[in-house]
Structures are given as structure tokens and as C-alpha cells.
Chains A and B, each alone.
Chain A
Amino acid sequence: MIVRGRHPHLRQALAAALLLAPAAALFGVLVAWPAMRALWVSTQRWTGFSPRTEPVGGEHYATLFGPTAMRWMPLLGAAVLLLGATAVAGQLLRRSRPTARAQRLARRLGGLAMLGIVAAVGTFLLVWLLVWNDGDSFFRGCVRNNFTYMIVGGLFHFVYAFLFAAALGLPAFRGKAFFRTMIFFPSFISAIGVAMLWQRIYDPSNGLANFLLRLCRIDPFAWLSGDNMLNSIIVCGVWAGVGSQMILLLAGMQRIPPTYYEAARIDGAGEGQVFRHITLPMLREVILIVLTLWVIGSLKVFGLFQAFTISHTEKTSVVSVRQYELAFSNRDNIYMMGYATAMAVVLLVLVVLGTMAMRSLREREPLEF
């Protein structure tokens, strides 16, 4: 490193402070501070008329989850704290550079603790969703829809993204650039554009979907009825989202040395074996990144659902849409800012939980090649 001036460290620190100042100011004031303040806002009641907010404590969370869940909440909190402390201790142990064995132990301990947190909170949420019939039923429906979108949509996303990436990776496949462009482009359309298009495609009388069905002499289908709308949205989400996953998987596949496949073929491995023993383990990292991005994206999804219909019921809404409607959509002219923010905090917990689940899957040694 070249030494400038009499106090090189001081100079560098000063330059860094000046360079960081604008970004830190923007991010701190408009993102980090409001994110922290959200915790406080979620304990307030504010309806949009009074100049001041009114503190209500944990009432919003109690309304969201219901009394049974609230009774279990201290136990859950204690478990999460304990496991979190274990995870932090594991991290600290790893930082102190102990022997290789202790390091492995610490790594496994940290991974297990994270998995424990995910399991504890996940079990709590599942029991709340499926067993206790408690709390805000509309919100419960929203969480259920978020999970359905995440799991069902994720499955279809992944299968088609993988197939398309595999096709683009085959040397024998013709017309790669064309196919790639046509499949990739929809992921760059805004969610509103996608929702508008598909809402009209699904239109019962004039839509393209029922037009095609009519051409095939099949009865029109009620794509936008309350029971079908979630599935319809999943289909259009897959259409719009498969492209970026395909590109990521393709990049991962292109990094696998082709000699591995040749060797496996020479040894007489079938397609299933090649897939299980070469493609899947070599793609592990990329697959986990794709899944992490999907889990986060599917929990945060807003525009696609919000624009699909103006009269959301608990069968078609997701957390972010419900939150927006309660806080800002003035159909009833009652704004429930604090309650909506409590929902957003739950959403944050879900996002962090999903990220942690994916992280704990990644904790294993990465494959070197």
C-alpha cells in the first residue's frame, strides 16, 4: 500500500467518511431509521384523524394472532432467545480461531441453533395456521396464501426454470438466443403490466384463455372466481418469474465441467443417476441462491396480487396487500397504520426466517471444483 501524507490512516478514514456520508445519510434516514421505527409504530394506534398516535402496547399482535397464540408467545420468545444466544456463541467461538475440530463443532452448533429457531417459529406459525382457529381470520388467510404461493409457485417456477436452463445448456439445442430472449423478457415487465395482461387474458367473456378454450371446443373456465384466482395468479407469476431463475441456473450449469458428464456416461450412468450424482450436487449453491431469492420475493410479493382485482377477499389477498389496504386504501376512511405495521413486522419475521432456513442449508462445506 502506498503511504500518502503524514497520517495515512487518518487521511484514509477521512476520505472514507466523506465518500460514505451521502449514501449513509440517505440509507440511514429513509431506510434504516424507518425500519427500526416500524417496531415502535406497530405498538401505536393511529387512524389518520388525530394529530398524535396513541400507544396500545402489544394489542395489535394479540389481535393478529389471537389469545391462544399469545399464551404460547412467551415460551416461543424464550426458545428463540436461547437458540439465538447459542448461535451467537457459536459464531464467537469460530471467530476466536480454535482448533479445526472445535471450529467444526462450532459451525455445526451454529447451524443447528439457526435450524432450531426456524423449526420453533415455523411450528408455531403452522399450528397457528392449521390448528388454532384464532386471531384475525383475514390475516390468517393472507399468510396461508403467501405460503401457498411460495410452495406451489416455487415448485412450478423451479421445475420450468430448470428445464429451460437444461435446454439452453444442451449443445444440440437450436435457436438459443431467441428462446432465451422470449422466456427472459417477461421477468422485466413491471408487476402491474403482468397483472393487467393476465387479468385480461383470464377475462371470462373476452379473454384470450377462454378464446383458446372455445377454439378447442371446451367450456369456458372461471379463471377469476374466488376459488381459482390464487391458482391463476400463480400461473401468471410463473410465466413472469421463470426467466431470471433460468438465467441463474444456466450460469451455474455452465460452470460444471463437461468432463464429469462424459466420465459418467462412459461408466454407464443413466440420466437419473447423472442428475442425482452430478447436476444436483454441483448446482447446490446456485439452487440455494435461487430458492432464497424466491422465498424472499414470494413473501414480499405485492403488485401482482394488488393489481389483479380491486375487491380482495381472504382467498386472494396476501400479507403485503392486506397491509397496504388497511394502512392507505381509504375505502372505509379508517386508516389502521399501527395494525398494518404490525403485519409488516410479521412479514419481516417471515422473510428473516426464510433467509435463515436457506442459510442453515448452506452452512455445509461448499464443493470445490
Chain B
Amino acid sequence: MTIWADMLAAQSAGPGWLGSLVSPWTVLTYATVTVVLLYFSSRTRLPMLYAVKSLWVAGTILAFLWVVVTSMGSNQQFVQHPERAISQFFDPHQRLTFAAGLFALLAVAAMVLMGRILPARPLQVRRRRAVLSLRIALGCVAAGVLLVAAHFNGYGAWYASYATALLVAHMGEYAVNSALIAVGSVLLTILTASMAAYALSRLTFAGRDAILYAFIAGLAIPGQLILVPLFLMLRHWTLPAAGFSFMDSRFGLILIYSATGLPFTIFLLTGFFGSLPSELGEAAAIDGCGEFATFRQVYFPLAAPGITTAAIFNFLGVWNEYNFALVFITNPRLKTLPVGLYTLNVSQQYAANWPALFAGIVILWAPTFLIFLLLQRQIIAGLTLGSVKG
């Protein structure tokens, strides 16, 4: 709680921002209006786009770097003086870290240039993948060299905050919970949704459209609406004999996430199954396949791209989900990562421990970042498939 009191104390010190005539908000608004005006002149358009984009990306990179660097410092070292982090690695007197920093810079430059040196044409999938993994490997090597050099040069225990976050603040346990819940609910969602989507797009039966509309109407239901009724309902649903209850249970959360993920997944997969040619099913029928075999052996494998997309989106959605986990999990050992991070942020003993908190943020981001880097193409394809053409 102290950190909030400090903030309020610091803020009530006085207005004083350039004599309070302008505020960041007016600056941002005028900048945006200027940028829009510059867009409508062909002479200023390209320079303006470069400037805005570079500024935006520079800010993003700065924020990410700040998080990573602060998460590796000791408690007060970089929190109050983030600029010192740079001098740590580019201090010519410390030869080891200086060399490591130089190497890392070169490695990053090589990573950036590699796309130019080894260009892959759109259809050269293997080559593209090779270049991508080479880039990632180079980045990992650079980061490793930096860390090892820092360790040997008395930079301090950069891993201390990660150890605190993972072991003392239980972020490791929370990550395992999150991963289990995410994988479980993705499998369940994909299984049930692909079956339903196949029936809704490739079979004819009475009431097909009504059922499809009912599922799609589920997209409009806010999670907040079903939160309380679900809570009132599920707190009674226990199986004492099997030791199962919906409250404080990973499996219960998996069921809830699968159910809430169904409308979007069915919406996406119905479009995907519907776009596959029907001749394949007919050929399978001639060869003696029943409805289930046709689904399992013909259409399910063919829908792999759509199913991958649905799986990615569901995984990210569940990994990042917060509202239901906050309500249905109260046992500290069963918390998911976002809830754990939230409690880490507000709990007395960690609120002022910036490195541990930032280590927690990095732990939360890392899988997302990895998935994003590796599967960006599918993600973009899925996003545009789901909404632009749907």
C-alpha cells in the first residue's frame, strides 16, 4: 500500500508542468492533428510516416529494454538511474563487459541485416524458417554472452530477481498452472469446436442455421454478464467423491475457458470447413467412409491451417485471461500467471521490489513473444480471415 501513498504524496507536490499551460494531453492531441494534416500532402506524407513510425517503435523498444534491464538490476540500482544500465555494458574500463556489449551490438546488426543478405522468396518456406531460426539463435547467443560477461564482471546477480519471482513469489508455479490450463482448454476447445463446426458447415439437418446463430450470438455476451450467475451456480457443483469442484480447480477453469472460447472458434472454423471442396467428402463416401471417418480422416487434417490459427488465438486468450481466473481461483497455489502478477504488484512486500515485478512481467511475456515471433504469419492470416472476409 505504501507505494500508492508515495505516489499521491509526490503528485500533490504542485502543478508546475510548464506552468500548467500545456499538458502532455494537449501536446499529444496537437501532434496527432498535425500528423493527420501532413498525411494529405504527398510531399510530407512519406517523411511523416517514417517519423511517426520510428518514434512509436523507438518508444516500444525503449519500454521493453527498460523492463528487461530493470528486471536484471539489484533493487535500487537501475530503478532510479536507468541510464546507468548502458554505461554498465559500454564502460571501456571494464574490458569484458565492453567486449560483450560490442559483440551483442554486432550480433543485433547481423540479425537485422540477415534478411537482406539471405532473402527468401514468399514460397521458400524452409529457407524462411532457416533464416528465422538463425536470427533467433543469434539473438540468444548475444543475450547469453552479455549475461555471462555481466556475471563474471561483478555486475551483480542479475538472476536474483528472477529467482525471487519464480521461487519466492511462486511465479514458476503460476506459470505451470497457466500452461496446464491453456493447453487443456485449447485441446478441449479445438476438439469440440471442430466437431461442431464440421456439423454446422458440411452436414444438412433441421435447425442448422439457428444453432449456428446461437453460437455466434455468444460472441456478443460480455464475460462480466455470466460471471455472477456462473459463480452462484458453480459453487454448488461439487463431486466430493471424486474430489472435484468448480471453484479452485484447474479442470473447472479449463471447462469454463473452453465454453467461452467456443463462439469465436466455431465462427472461425465454420468458415474454414465451408471453404473446403465437397468433392473430397463425396470421394470418401464412395470409398466407404461414414460421417465420422470423413470428418476425422479427410476434413480435420485439411483444416489444419484454420485449426492452427484457432489454437493460437485460444492459447493466447487463455494465457492472458484474467477476469474468470480472478473470481474462480482463490487458492494461492492454483493461481494463473496474470492473477499472480497482479497479486505480486499489490502485495506489500513486493510492491517496491521493481526488479522482481519486472521479472514477473518478462516471465508473462516470454511465451507470448516466442509464439508471436514463430507464428506471426498464421496469426495475421487468422485475424484477417476471421474478420475481414467473415
Contact = CB atoms under 8 A, between A and B. Distances in A.
Interface of A: 1-2, 4, 9, 11-13, 15-20, 22-24, 26-27, 29-35, 37-38, 41, 46, 53, 156, 159-160, 163-164, 166-167, 170, 172-173, 177-179, 181-186, 188-193, 196-197, 199-201, 203-206, 208, 211, 218-225, 228, 231, 235, 239, 244, 247-248, 251-252, 270-272, 275, 285-286, 289, 293, 296, 299-300, 302-303, 306-307, 309-311, 319-320, 323-324, 327-328, 337, 340-341, 343-345, 347-348, 351-352, 355
A130 B337 CA distance: 40
B42 to A, nearest CB: 5
A181 B323 contact: no
23 contacts: A2-B285, A16-B203, A19-B203, A20-B199, A20-B200, A29-B259, A31-B221, A163-B39, A164-B56, A182-B60, A189-B368, A190-B320, A192-B364, A193-B338, A193-B365, A205-B80, A208-B63, A235-B28, A248-B384, A251-B384, A300-B223, A310-B4, A323-B227
B242 interface: no
Interface of B: 4, 6-8, 10-12, 16-18, 23-25, 28, 32, 35-36, 39-42, 45-46, 49-50, 52-53, 56-57, 59-63, 66-67, 79-80, 82, 112, 115, 188, 191-193, 195-196, 198-200, 203-206, 208, 211, 214-215, 218, 220-233, 255-256, 258-260, 262-263, 266, 278, 281-282, 285-286, 290-292, 295, 316, 319-323, 326-327, 338, 341-342, 345-346, 354, 357-358, 360-361, 364-365, 368-369, 371-373, 376, 379-380, 383-384, 387-388
A183 B260 contact: no
A177 B115 contact: yes
Nearest to B352: A206
Contact of B342 (A13, A46, A189, A192): A192
A307 B203 CA distance: 45
A37 B233 contact: yes
B354 A328 contact: no
A225 B8 CA distance: 7
A64 B204 CA distance: 47
B259 A192 contact: no
A38 B228 contact: yes
Contact of B57 (A182, A248, A285): A182
Given A27-B263, A224-B7, A303 B338 contact: yes
A196 B124 CA distance: 40
Contact of B230 (A30, A181, A347): A30
Given A13-B206, A344-B227, A35 B221 contact: yes
Contact of B228 (A178, A219, A307, A337): A337
Contact of A271 (B39, B208, B221): B39
A26 B192 contact: yes
Nearest to A341: B228
Contacts of A347: 222, 224-225
A169 to B, nearest CB: 10
A87 to B, nearest CB: 16
- In this complex, the member of A37, A177, A355 whose beta carbon has the largest number of chain B beta carbons within 10 angstroms is A37
Given A166-B39, A303-B323, A27 B223 contact: no
Task: Give the most central of B6, B11, B233: most A CB within 10 Å.
Answer: B11
Nearest to A311: B4
Given A192-B338, A192-B342, A271-B41, A293 B387 contact: yes
A248 to B, nearest CB: 6
Given A15-B291, A30-B256, A30-B260, A190 B228 contact: no
